[in-house]
Amino acid sequence: MRASQIMLRCPRCETELVVPRDDWDPQDAVSVLIVCLRCDDGDFHAPRFVNADGAEVPAIDTQERT
């Protein structure tokens, strides 16, 4: 996986997909835990960013971006 990419991972079915990073992805994050469309039950699911050590990384506050 390249530095310009990040891994999307569904915590329910464990499906993984490598995608290009977005501007709001934290620099230290290597993966994003988010429920996939197949497992989505209609509830609101927030992404959780994880670093290489498996620790959660705080999301970037998009309200502060200019």
DSSP state of 11: T
- pLDDT of amino acid 3: 85
Range of the domain at 49: 1-66
- pLDDT of amino acid 18: 97
Rounded CA gap, 23 and 47, in Å? 15
- pLDDT of amino acid 2: 87
- pLDDT of amino acid 64: 55
- pLDDT of amino acid 62: 59
pLDDT under 50 in the chain at which residues? none
Cβ within 8 Å of residue 56, ≥6 positions away: 48, 49, 50
64 φ, ψ (degrees, to nearest 5) = -85, -15
- pLDDT of amino acid 40: 92
What is the count of structural domains for the chain? 1
Rounded CA gap, 24 and 65, in Å? 9
